[in-house]
Amino acid sequence: MAKSERPQSRRAALLEFAILGVLHDGALHGYELRKRLTTALGIFRALSYGSLYPALRSLVESGHISETPEPTASGKRPRITYQLTAEGKEHFQDLVAASGPDAWDDDDFDVRLAFFSRTEREVRLRILEGRRSRLEERLARVREVSARNRERMDAYTLALQQHGEERAEREVRWLEELIRAERRAALDPGPAAYDLDVLPPTRTTPPQNKE
Amino acid sequence: MAKSERPQSRRAALLEFAILGVLHDGALHGYELRKRLTTALGIFRALSYGSLYPALRSLVESGHISETPEPTASGKRPRITYQLTAEGKEHFQDLVAASGPDAWDDDDFDVRLAFFSRTEREVRLRILEGRRSRLEERLARVREVSARNRERMDAYTLALQQHGEERAEREVRWLEELIRAERRAALDPGPAAYDLDVLPPTRTTPPQNKE
DNA sequence: GCGGGGATGTATCGCGGCGATATATCCCCA
DNA sequence: TGGGGATATATCGCCGCGATACATCCCCGC
């Protein structure tokens, strides 16, 4: 197996994880890969090529992906498609199986969730619950600050504060719904019909079609 | 007036704006200033000294703030307090009066909102409305993507997508409440009892005290 | 059929923000 | 008396991001 080249910063490690995940179902070239990471998955809102291409190069060097120049007809403009190697697949499985203590940070969590359908149920539950308690800690801290100097705050700061709290509460409730669904699916029909379609409609607002 | 030294990157300009705003009601030293910017205001979640001190230096050089070493009793450990200069106050007034086309970006908006009580009503309304349409654009884009490949998405991506949509919808509603309140206060009791206590309770969930 | 504009596509560079780290003082408590 | 934690100032290196460059393809107007 190729040497693994510590993924330097936490940010870069996350990006590499996301790349492996996206590449896991199909080879892509950089441009399309970037679109998947930004538009489709919603993760990495504005990913720069100045981050993407170095990350791809690093992954090639560490042997997790390989690049193949694709000759388009005659002999000009070679597009480069990237695909997972066997080591890359293996490495992704390792990463997706481990729920490190970072898996519930904001960015990390979104990426982990994006690959939940390739994650074991046990790990999914651990991540969801970790995320929930992380969120509850944060909420408690915010509430405490808010209570301590409520009278010193002007109306706008107060409004922002309350909106923040409400958003956090909603996310906790959303997480609890996901957790319940996981638990239900884990016990309900025995080990059959795995992984998909286990979620109830998560929409908590009535099906209003506004505007 | 001192030369103004273009604030380089957008991020740095935002930080300088926030510093001026916080310093506007009282001189502070760096450590406390950082706490205000992170804990209290919620903006700049994790502001590094590697950003703060250079920004302070830049503001001193441009003449917007001044630093005074504070001798603590004998002759050791001089704490440095920073305060606005006349130019700094003036500059902050200019910044708070202008609603540039960036005022409705995520980070920018939070900072602008934090200083709303020192912002004229007209500008407040423009910023709130700008933010709302920005959010609606984003929501429309997300919805469109979501509709285009709903069947290709697994249950988890779908759940994440829906949660994101719902959050955006809520924020739009929250903004509309703020806008209504501004409009009401602008017409209602004539020009008296300005600026504060104009907001109704923004909490939209019933006052449940959970857990 | 020609040329402009926009999407597709690969690639690099400089600037500056951030995390880590160093250093120092003060104060509380064991 | 010394360890631990809050307070406080400061810097450094790494690397992520925005800008930019360059090239191809294709559609549309005229």
Tell if the CB–CB gap between B41 and A145 is shorter than 8 Å.
no
Residue A148 is predicted with a pLDDT of 79
pLDDT at A5 over 70: no
pLDDT of residue B72: 57
Q: What is the mean pLDDT of residues A62-74?
A: 80
Q: Which residue is nearest to nucleotide C13 (CA to C1')?
A: A50
- Say whether pLDDT at A201 is over 60: no
Specify the pLDDT at position B102.
80
Is pLDDT at A195 greater than 90 in this prediction? no
Q: Determine how β-strand A28-29 pairs with β-strand B65-70.
A: unpaired
Which of A149, A154, A169, A182 has the most B C-beta neighbours within 10 Å, making it the best mutation to test the interface with B?
A154
Determine phi and psi for B100, rounding to 5 degrees: -60, 170
What is the full per-residue pLDDT of chain B (211 aa) written as tens digits?
A: 544 555 678 889 999 999 999 999 899 999 999 999 988 777 788 899 999 999 999 999 999 999 998 765 555 667 899 999 999 999 999 999 987 778 888 889 999 999 999 999 999 999 999 999 999 988 888 888 788 777 778 889 889 889 999 999 999 999 999 999 999 988 876 555 444 444 444 444 444 443 3
Give how far A61 is from chain B: nearest CA, Å.
Answer: 31
Worst-scoring range by mean pLDDT, A67-76, A128-137, B43-52? Answer: A67-76
| CA-to-C1' span, B31 to D4 (A) | 20
Model confidence pLDDT, tens digit, residues A101-115: 888 888 899 999 999
Per-residue pLDDT, B206: 44
- Cross-chain Cβ contact B114/A157 below 8 Å: yes
Domain map of chain A by residue range? Answer: 10-106, 120-187
pLDDT at A76: 61
Nearest Cα residue to A41 out of B145, B144, B137? B145
From chain A, which residues contact B within 8 Å (Cβ)? 39-42, 110, 113-114, 116-117, 142, 145, 149, 154-164, 166-167, 169-171, 174, 178, 196-199, 202-205, 210
CATH of A10-106, one of 1.25.40.20, 3.30.70.20, 1.10.10.10, 1.20.140.10: 1.10.10.10
CA of A62 vs chain B CAs: smallest distance (Å): 29
3-state secondary structure of B66: strand
Q: Measured in Å, how far apart are chain A's first and last C-alpha atoms?
A: 56
Nearest by CB to A42, from B114, B164, B178: name it.
B164
* Between B186 and A8, the higher pLDDT residue: B186
| Minimal C-alpha gap between B114 and chain A (Å) | 6
Instruction: Supply the pLDDT for residue A207.
Output: 43
Output A5 or A180, whichever has higher pLDDT.
Answer: A180
Positions in chain C where some atom is under 7 Å from a protein CB: 8-21, 24-26
Query: Beta strand B79-84 with B65-70: parallel, antiparallel or unpaired?
Result: antiparallel
Q: Which residues have CB under 7 A from strand D? A: A 8-9, 11-12, 15, 44, 46-51, 54-55, 72-74, 76-77; B 29-32, 48-50, 53-54, 79-81
- Looking at residue A72, its pLDDT comes to 58
> Coil, strand, or helix at residue A113?
helix
Task: Please list every residue in chain A whose beta carbon sits closer than 8 Å to the beta carbon of residue B170.
Answer: 166-167, 170
Task: Name the residue in chain B with its Cα closest to that of A109.
Answer: B160
Nucleotide nearest to A31 (CA to C1'): C9
How many CB atoms within 10 Å of residue A85?
17
**pTM for the full model?**
0.85
For chains A and B, CB pairs below 8 A equal 92
What residues contact residue B111 under an 8 Å CB cut-off, 6+ apart? B14, B17, B18, B21, B43
Tens-place pLDDT, residues A80-94: 999 999 999 999 999
Neighbours of B43 (CB within 10 A): 23
Residue nearest to nucleotide C25 (CA to C1'): B77
Q: CA dist B33 to A108, B87, B197, Å?
A: 29, 20, 27
Distance B51 CA to C14 C1' (A): 18
The answer to whether B145 contacts A204, with C-beta atoms less than 8 Å apart, is: no
Per-residue pLDDT tens for A137-191? 888 888 887 887 778 788 898 898 899 999 999 999 999 999 999 999 988 765 5
Identify the pLDDT of residue A189. Answer: 64
- Residue B74 CB neighbour total at 10 angstroms: 6
Å from the A20 CA to the D23 C1': 28
Cα of B21 to nearest chain A Cα, Å? 14
Contact A197 B155 (CB under 8 A): yes
**Given this model, what pLDDT does residue A206 score?**
44
Answer yes or no: is pLDDT of A211 > 90.
no
Contact A139, A163 (CB under 8 A): no
